[in-house]
């Protein structure tokens, strides 16, 4: 460490300093000073040293898959190598995700690389593969939403919406107790930049009822249905259709009451939601 302190002071950037950072990083891969000096070295040394970094980083990441400093270094490295290596970089990230499908750093890196080199097209296919392996992988669902948003922005948004609703529907029917897929559906309806509302998309309400026919206790479906009724009652209230608004609010309240029983740990929240609808009911 004392030699490294001396190097920091002298500002020397050379092959021997690069190999000194090997040792420092081997002892503590989170030493942010060492990574910075390393980056400065590879930039001034001949190109071959930059190339060798790929192997070094692969090795390091295998042993330290959740290290902030390492992934940040990898990001700089990938951006510096450029578009020619982008597909290879994504393949590498996939390998990391096969080890741990929820590694936050790997997913963040994947977003950064796909965005930088605009590689969203291919992403959906691989996400389907990952969700096939683990349909509850929230990281994959999140990434899918980022990819779908990009594709909607660049192409036919309505088409992306319809095909994603279909895709999600199938996975919800396969595994109804899955917070991630329901959240994804909600996102498609509320945040894809289309004028769809949860309550105005009939296929979504139908899906809730279908799930409940299969599994009457599925609290996520009941919750979604409750949200649809709540949204409907507010829309109808704004249109001055008081009776219809009250009916929707009453249905919403009924759902929230059911949730109090099936999901008791969030009882206080369900009561609060009922309370919000009471005023519409009694108006």
For the beta carbon of residue 223, count every other beta carbon within 10 angstroms.
22
Q: Is 52 a catalytic residue?
A: no
* CA 131 to the chain's CA centroid: 12
> What's the min distance (Å) between Cβ of 250 and other proteins?
21
Q: Is 138 in the site for other proteins (CB under 8 A)?
A: yes
41-to-33, 37, 60, 104 alpha-carbon distances in Å: 13, 6, 18, 28
Q: Is 30 in the site for other proteins (CB under 8 A)?
A: yes
Q: Is 64 in the site for other proteins (CB under 8 A)?
A: no
**Based on CB atoms, which residue is closest to other proteins, 159 or 267?**
267
225-to-70, 155, 198, 211 alpha-carbon distances in Å: 44, 31, 9, 11
> What's the min distance (Å) between Cβ of 185 and other proteins?
10
**Based on CB atoms, which residue is closest to other proteins, 83 or 272?**
272
Q: Is 28 in the site for other proteins (CB under 8 A)?
A: yes
Cα gap 37→20, rounded to integer Å: 10
Instruction: Kindly indicate which of the ranges 135-143, 205-213, 245-253, 254-262 contains the residues binding other proteins, using the contact rule CB under 8 A.
Output: 135-143
Q: Is 112 in the site for other proteins (CB under 8 A)?
A: yes
> b/e per residue, 65-98, with b = 16+ CB within 10 A?
bebebbbbbbbebbeebeeebbeebbebbeebbe
Q: Is 120 in the site for other proteins (CB under 8 A)?
A: no
**Based on CB atoms, which residue is closest to other proteins, 40 or 257?**
40
Q: Is 217 in the site for other proteins (CB under 8 A)?
A: no
Site of tokens 């190097």: 7
CB 181 within 8 A of CB 175: yes
Q: Which residues bind other proteins (CB under 8 A)?
A: 1, 5, 27-28, 30-33, 35-36, 39, 68-69, 72, 76, 102, 104, 107-108, 111-112, 115, 136-139, 142-143, 145-146, 179-180, 183-184, 186-187, 190-191, 265-269, 272
């Amino acid at each position: 460490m004392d030699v490294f302190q001396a190097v920091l002071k002298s500002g020397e950037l050379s092959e021997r300093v690069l190999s000194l950072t090997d040792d420092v990083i081997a002892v503590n891969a989170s030493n942010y000073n060492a990574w910075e000096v390393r980056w400065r070295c590879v930039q001034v040394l001949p190109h071959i040293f930059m190339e060798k970094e790929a192997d070094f980083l692969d090795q390091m990441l295998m042993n330290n898959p959740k290290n902030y400093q390492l992934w940040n270094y990898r990001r700089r490295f990938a951006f510096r190598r450029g578009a020619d290596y982008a597909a290879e970089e994504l393949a590498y990230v996939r390998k990391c995700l096969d080890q741990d499908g929820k590694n936050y750093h790997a997913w963040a890196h994947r977003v950064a690389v796909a965005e930088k080199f605009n590689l969203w097209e291919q992403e959906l296919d691989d996400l389907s593969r990952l969700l096939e392996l683990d349909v509850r992988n929230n990281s994959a669902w999140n990434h899918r939403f980022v990819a779908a948003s990009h594709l909607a922005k660049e192409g036919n948004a309505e088409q992306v919406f319809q095909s994603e609703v279909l895709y999600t529907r199938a996975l919800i029917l396969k595994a109804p107790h899955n917070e991630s897929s329901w959240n994804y559906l909600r996102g498609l309806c509320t945040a894809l930049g289309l004028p769809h509302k949860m309550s105005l998309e009939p296929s979504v309400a139908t899906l809730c009822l279908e799930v409940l026919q299969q599994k009457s206790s599925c609290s996520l479906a009941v919750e979604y249905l409750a949200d649809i009724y709540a949204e409907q009652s507010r829309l109808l209230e704004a249109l001055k259709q008081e009776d219809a608004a009250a009916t929707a609010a009453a249905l919403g309240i009924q759902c929230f009451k059911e949730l109090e029983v099936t999901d008791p740990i969030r009882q206080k929240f369900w009561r609060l939601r009922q309370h919000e609808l009471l005023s519409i009911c009694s108006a």
